[in-house]
Amino acid sequence: MRKVSINTLKGNEKLARNVWSDTGIVLMSEGTYLKKEYIPRLKELNIGYIYIDDDLGKGIKVDEIIEEQIKEQCQNVVKDTIQKYFYNGNNKLEKLKIVAEDIILDMLEQSEVMYNISGVREKSESLYSHSVNVCTLSVLIALRLKLSKKRVQEIAIGSLLHDIGYNYITFNYQDKSIDQFSELERREIKKHVIYGYSAIEKEDWLSPISKDIILSHHENINGEGYPFHLKGDRIKLESKIVAVCDEFDRLVYGTFTKPMKVHETIEYILSQSGIRFDQNVVNVFNKSVAVFPNSSTVITNEGEIGIVLRQNSGFPARPVIRIVKDKDGNNTENWMEKDLTKILNIFIVDTIEI
C-alpha cells in the first residue's frame, strides 16, 4: 500500500484502508474502488490523503503505533469528556485515565516501532485530535527514556489535557495563522496554559506532574517560553517531553502556521536542541520518529524517485527505498531496492507527490 495525496487522485483507485470520518464512522471501506465524484467530498471533510493498493505500493507495510480507528475513538472520548466538563462542570474528567491507559497498553506492544506520520487529515482539525497525537508520541518517548510506569501514566494524562485551556479562549482563533493575530490576541492565546491549569487545579485525582504539563509545556530551556520564563532544570522532564511533541504535531499539521513536511519539522526541532528543547529529549525523539515515513514518495540527491519501503532502526533518515523513476524521470522497468544505510553516497533530499 501507499499513502497518496487527494490532489493526485483520478478516480478508480483501490482503497488499502478504510476511510474514516472524524467521528469514527467508515465512509469508504478497504478494498472498494474510489469514485471520482467522491474526491471533492473527501476534501470538504479535511481528508488530504488516502491509502491505495497499486503496483508502486506493492509489499509496503505502514507500521502503526496506534491504528487510525483507535485514534479516532480516543479522540471522541477526549472530546466528549472535556466538553462535558467545560459546559457542565461535572467530575467526569477522570474518564481520561482509561484513554491514557489504552494508549499506553497499545504503545507497550509497539514501543520498538518508529513513529510514522500516517494520519490522513490535512491538519489536526481540533485540539482533541492534536491532544491524542501529542499523547501518543509523548508516551513513546517516555517509554524509550525508561521512565517508570507511574511517570508514563502522568505524561499520558497530562498530554491529553495539555491544551484544555483553549476551551476558555473567547475569540475565534481556529484557521488563523499566528501572524494574523493582533498583539492582544497573541497575549490571550498564551494564557491558555493559565486557564487550563486553573480549570483542573482542584482535581485531586490529577498528579502534580500532570498539572505541571498543562501549565509548563510552552516553557523553553533558554527561559524564553511562557508563562513563567523558566530555564533548564526548573522545567520538569515530563513537561520538556510534551513540549517537543506538541511543537512537532503543531508544525506538521499546521496549527497557527502553514503545515511543514515531516523531515523539515524534524530539522527544525533538531536546530532548537539545547535552545528551546532539552537535548536528551530531542535525541530520543530523533531516534523515534521516521524522517521519511513508510510509503512516502521521495527524491534522492541523484535525482531518482523512490518510495519508502521500510525503516532502518537507529537510522531514521536512511530507510530502504524502491526506485520507481530514474534520474531522467523515466519509469524503471525492474524496480531496484536501495538500502541507504549501505549506499552512503545517496541520500534523500525531499518528499514529493506522484
How does pLDDT run across 172-194, given as a tens digit for each residue? 887 778 888 999 999 999 999 99
> Bigger pLDDT: 318 or 255?
318
- Nearest one of 252, 255, 148, 257 to 207, comparing CA atoms: 148
CB 301 within 8 A of CB 349: yes
Burial 261-271 (b: 16+ CB within 10 A, else e): bbbebbeebee
Residue-wise pLDDT tens digits, 70-101? 777 888 888 888 888 876 666 688 889 999 99
Determine the pLDDT at residue 106.
81
> Bigger pLDDT: 86 or 45?
45
Determine the pLDDT at residue 72.
77
Determine the pLDDT at residue 119.
61
Look up residue 252 and give its three cell numbers: 506538521
Cα(159)–Cα(207) distance, integer angstroms: 12
Residue 124: pLDDT over 70: no
Residue-wise pLDDT tens digits, 199-224? 999 999 999 999 999 999 999 999 99
Q: How far is CA 216 from each of CA 79, 196, 327, rounded to the nearest angstrom?
A: 22, 11, 48
Given pLDDT bands bounded at 50, 70 and 90, which one contains residue 45? confident
Look up residue 92 and give its three cell numbers: 467526569
Residue 122: pLDDT over 60: no
Determine the pLDDT at residue 227.
98
Look up residue 243 and give its three cell numbers: 513540549
Residue-wise pLDDT tens digits, 258-301? 889 999 999 999 999 999 999 999 999 999 999 999 999 999 99
What is the average pLDDT score of the chain? 90
Q: What contacts 55, CB < 8 A, 6 or more positions away?
A: none
Domains of the chain: 2-57 (3.90.105.10), 68-288 (1.10.3210.10), 297-351 (no CATH)
Residue-wise pLDDT tens digits, 301-313? 999 999 999 999 8
Residue 165: pLDDT over 70: yes
pTM of the model: 0.90
Residue 123: pLDDT over 60: no
Whole-number percent of the chain with pLDDT over 70:
94
Q: Cα 135–278–287 angle (5° rounding)?
A: 65
Residue 36: pLDDT over 60: yes
Cα(344)–Cα(338) distance, integer angstroms: 10
